[in-house]
Amino acid sequence: MPNQFFSTSGSLDESLGIRTGSVWRKTTLRMAFLALLCIGLPTLLEISAYRETVAQTRVDAREELNRLRVEIERQINRDVQLVRGMVSYVRVRPDLGQIEFDRLAAYLLSDDTNIIRNLALAKNLTLSHVYPLEGNASVIGVRYEDLTDQYPMVRKAVEENRIVIAGPVNLIQGGRGIIARFPVYRNTTETDGPALWGVASMVIDFERLLDTVKISQFTRRYDLALYQIDAGQMAETPFFGDGSMVGDDPITLDVSLIGTSWGISATPKNGWPKRSNRFWQTVAIALLAFSIGCYLIIVGMRFENALIQLAVQLETAKREADAARSVAESANRAKTQFLANMSHELRTPLNAIIGFSQIMIGGLLGRINNTKYEEYLKDILASSQHLLDVIGDILDITRVEAGEMELHEQNFTIRALVDASLRLTRSRADQKAQTVDISIPDDLPRIRADNRMLRQALMNLLSNSIKFTPEGGRITISAGLTAAQEMEIAVHDTGKGIAPEDLERIVEPFAQGRASSEIAYEGTGLGLSISKRMIDAHGGDLRIESELGKWTRVTIVLPASRVNPPEAVQETL
């Protein structure tokens, strides 16, 4: 047995290790899945949010830079229109002098925003008029053909007969400027068609233009460059800003000017966003979700381990209980066998004592003339009979516990059962002057049962009623069918009753319920227990009702299947 328990404990420990190992593996997999989920899902969300952030940043940048584009176009195109005014005037007054030109230029510049540096006329492509003359006098008499860097644009304006904007270029008088030139053609009598008079020009101060459009506000936030666009292609070198500072994938805008185009290329100072606006929020939520998930997984792991340990403990307890029950059953069988053997051994001498006592009391071999001896013999006979009853009860209970109770079923009436039981118990009731009433209908159907068991069970009930009912009391035996067609056989007495706390244990072996101390040591306490086992063997029930100090009612209930059996079986009692 110790080896068996040791091996069982070892197998349970091994089972516990396997189960807890499985929990750890599942926990590891859950942790890994949670980590992948908390990394993968936020990453996908961040990629989507990052694209949205970059797109929105580009939209905002384009809108902001578009304001710069519009302002440059407005300033330059508005002022360039002044050249058209000069051209119209010169066509009418081709021989105007410097004073007349000064008045014309002053009028045209009356609404100027101070970005126009000068207005000039170049008759026969030689600078002949300039306003204001102060600071620009050095250009008077300069021939365009001698300005190799500017002459191509002059020739282009003449050939195409349109306004051409050049620059910013380095000016003769110093500084940088944007020059707008428009050829002046007029009809003369000397030619068949319009003849070239010269060129009207306007110089816009480039630095003042940049200040006017507030480009510094944009360069604080953007790496920005301005390019000349020629034939739809942006020049390689910007005329403003450092092209190398402009980052990847810049915002590009076309500045549409009269006769030419510029390009704006810009990126934010720190480049485009490296992460979305919700990056840290996403990271925080992912970390929080991972922490909560880890907590729940750990709690679940602990709960599973606790369940496993509890299951192992229950299994251990069950195995130990089974082993203990097996030992107890073996001991009980040994006890039962011992009691049965001892009971048989005791009945033989008891029968001899009872027989010789009856012979001596009956005087079959001669009268005993000593009354005291006669009383002793009666005591010996009564005690021997009582001991024989006790031994009989012990034999019955041992048969019940050993599972040796076998039913020998017969058909019989309840009246025959009651009469047979009373024949063996009425004498004791008569000794106590007790009244025994019988209430059994004549048309009560028969039952099929083991008549010896039922008779013994009913005799036990009658014996208890006689024993616990005082002298002159009343005992009533009744029988009848219930609404469910069950057979009820009841024994009601006017005895001392049973205490409520004793009702549940009264049918246990050797248990007794006593209403007074005067009968405290009568009987073995096996009668009701034996009766209960016998009734249970029939599929019935034994019900006990009592009111302490007034009455007790014990009812045998037999199932409907045992009522009104077929007529083929002979009635026997």
Q: Which two tokens stand for residue 294?
A: 């880890």
pLDDT confidence of residue 530: 81
* Domain range enclosing 422: 408-562
Nearest-angstrom CA–CA distance, 13 and 94: 119
Does one domain contain both 182 and 230? yes
Does one domain contain both 141 and 262? yes
| Residue 382 belongs to a domain | yes
Q: Tell me the longest C-alpha to C-alpha distance in the chain.
A: 199
**What is the β-pairing status of strands 176-187 and 447-450?**
unpaired
Containing 195, the helix (H) or strand (E) segment is strand 194-205
Does one domain contain both 514 and 369? no
SS3 track for 49-107: HHHHHHHHHHHHHHHHHHHHHHHHHHHHHHHHHHHHHHHHHHHHCCCCCHHHHHHHHHH
What is the Cβ-side half-sphere exposure of residue 499, based on CA atoms within 13 angstroms? 9
pTM of the model: 0.49
Domain CATH for 551: 3.30.565.10
Asked which of 388, 423, 438 is the last residue of a domain, the reply is: 388
Asked which of 231, 247, 272 is the last residue of a domain, the reply is: 272
Does one domain contain both 192 and 68? yes
pLDDT confidence of residue 509: 63
Does one domain contain both 381 and 433? no
Nearest to 210 by CA among 224, 197, 195: 224
| Residue 283 belongs to a domain | no
Distances (CA, A) of 242 to 108, 131, 219, 236, 245: 36, 34, 11, 11, 6
Helix 451-468 with 527-537: angle, nearest 10 deg: 150
| Residue 522 belongs to a domain | yes
Does one domain contain both 336 and 223? no
| Residue 4 belongs to a domain | no
Angle, vertex CA 262, rays to CA 156 and CA 204, nearest 5: 70
Domain CATH for 202: 3.30.450.350
| Residue 301 belongs to a domain | no
Does one domain contain both 235 and 380? no
| Residue 305 belongs to a domain | no
Does one domain contain both 372 and 449? no
Does one domain contain both 465 and 421? yes
Asked which of 272, 300, 316 is the last residue of a domain, the reply is: 272
Distances (CA, A) of 220 to 206, 215, 217, 271, 274: 19, 9, 6, 13, 20
Residue pLDDT tens, the chain, 573 long? 444 444 445 555 565 566 667 878 888 888 899 899 889 888 998 899 889 988 999 999 999 999 999 999 988 888 888 888 888 899 989 889 989 999 998 888 887 667 888 899 999 999 999 998 887 888 899 998 988 888 888 998 898 888 888 878 888 778 888 889 899 998 876 666 788 999 999 888 899 999 999 999 999 999 999 998 887 788 888 889 887 877 788 999 999 888 788 999 999 988 888 888 888 988 999 899 989 989 998 888 888 888 888 888 888 889 899 999 888 878 877 776 776 677 667 777 877 887 877 888 777 777 777 788 777 777 787 777 767 766 766 666 666 666 666 788 999 999 999 998 888 788 889 999 999 999 999 899 999 999 888 988 898 899 889 999 999 999 999 999 999 999 999 999 999 888 888 887 777 765 555 444 444 435 556 778 888 888 998 999 999 999 998 999 999 999 999 998 655 444 444
Does one domain contain both 412 and 384? no
| Residue 345 belongs to a domain | yes
Does one domain contain both 82 and 190? yes
| Residue 128 belongs to a domain | yes
Does one domain contain both 372 and 261? no
Count of domains for the chain: 3
